[in-house]
Amino acid sequence: MLDSLYNIEFSKKGQCYAYKISMKFFRSSLDKAIKSIDSKPEENDNAPRNLLGRILGASIEFFNTVLAYEAIATVRKAFIIQAYHNWEKFVCKCFSQTFPSEKVPRGFDDLSKAAERMGFILHPELNLVSDLSNVLKHDSKKSCERLLSEWPKLFSPDPEILSKELDDEDINWTSNIKIDDKWIDKIFSILEKSGPPENPQ
């Protein structure tokens, strides 16, 4: 579906609606993916009733819960990367339509300048979503420093402990980022508010 959206030549007004549709698609797909992982299996009436059977059953249920939790965390991170990449692709698409003779921008600084040039109103924390995407994809230390400063609650354990260990090359920053539903709402809200203008000039 999204590949089709990227390949259509939109009017300036249509760019806004196409972007909104793409973000709704990402959000509903994320909700469906999490729901499918989070759904618990039906109770088995034939489950063993003796002590050993119950212990084994509880152990399996515990490991399934842990695996489901990790899977949900991984899915959330993957969708954040893709949703931010969607913003990048829309900026490039709109730019190549608006300025066909100019080189398509690359990197957050150039993309944000190009977006503002086309009348996009960028959310002031969009740069942090870019940083988050860089940390999740590349374990970027520079991006992580900014996130620790601006969004410390994104990290677990305590961000103060992590900030003291910034020089430690062995830290896996991605695994220290904990994204719950509130963060998903915040990040998607930032991206949704940073798309093509509803009333282009």
| Residue 114, in any domain of the structure | yes
* pLDDT given at position 190: 97
Tally the C-alpha atoms within 13 A of residue 112's C-alpha that lie toward its C-beta. 15
| Residue 200, in any domain of the structure | no
Determine the structural domain holding residue 65 and report its residue range.
Answer: 2-40+48-192
- Which residues, in sequence order, are bridge partners of residue 163? none
| Residue 141, in any domain of the structure | yes
What is the domain count for the chain? 1
Helix (H) or strand (E) holding 112: helix 108-117
| Residue 198, in any domain of the structure | no
| Residue 36, in any domain of the structure | yes
Reading the block at residue 128, the tokens are 């942090």
pLDDT in tens, 53-63: 666 666 666 65
In whole angstroms, how far apart are CA 143 and each of 4, 26, 79, 156? 32, 24, 19, 16
| Residue 14, in any domain of the structure | yes
Residue 134 has pLDDT above 90, yes or no: yes
pLDDT in tens, 31-49: 888 887 766 555 555 555 6
Residue 171 makes CB contacts below 8 A (sequence gap 6+) with 162, 165
| Residue 199, in any domain of the structure | no
| Residue 69, in any domain of the structure | yes
